[in-house]
Amino acid sequence: MTLFSSQPGDEGLPGPARARVMAAIMTTTLMGVFDGTMINIALPSMAQEMQVPASIAVWFANGYLLAAAMTLAIFAALAARLGYRPVFLAGLTTFTLTSLGCALANTPEVLIGMRVLQGIGGAATLSIAPAILRSVFPGRLLGRILGLHALLIASSSAIGPVLGGTILHTLSWQWLFAINAVCYTPLPLPEQRI
């Protein structure tokens, strides 16, 4: 039995559609978690380039995390009223556009503002990802898919600083954010309210 096999009486989406939704959810989860962790290794470089003390530079990370934490429950409630697709796509678009804004930011104020907005966009996708997975996978597979999602979050938190250090070493801190635009593609979420 695989995650994408269909059996008679399965609720949710058929196997191929499940695979597309899972890929979209897992990609956005990676992006959201990476952005919360991989920047930490770059804070000294960013502070030096922007000529700000560490007490200001720490807000390059904290702005994202604080905004995400403050809005997670709001987006979960909003998605329950409006549907998952519009909230998820609005969050992903906000996250991606503000990632570009972070990459192009030339002042600490702009970068902190973009990070706050990026955290809000990230919260919209992260808060409803498990609910989307729950609605597209049949009950017999929920333990597996939600376990995989939790494993992805945990491993992303550990890999984020390593990935951030690699990007910082080979490119620049701006690429920590620009990479999100490279990963963004319109996601294959079903049209109906899930």
Domain boundaries, the chain: 15-183
**pTM of the predicted model as reported, rounded to 2 decimal places:** 0.84
Amino acid identity at 2: T
| DSSP per position, 125-172 | HHHHHHHHHHHHS-GGGHHHHHHHHHHHHHHHHHHHHHHHHHHHHHS-
Q: What is the pLDDT of residues 53-85, one digit of tens each?
A: 999 999 999 999 999 999 999 999 999 999 998
Of 140, 130, 146, nearest in space to 8 by CA: 140
CATH for 15-183 is 1.20.1250.20
Q: What is the pLDDT of residues 80-119, one digit of tens each?
A: 999 998 999 999 999 999 999 999 999 999 999 999 999 9
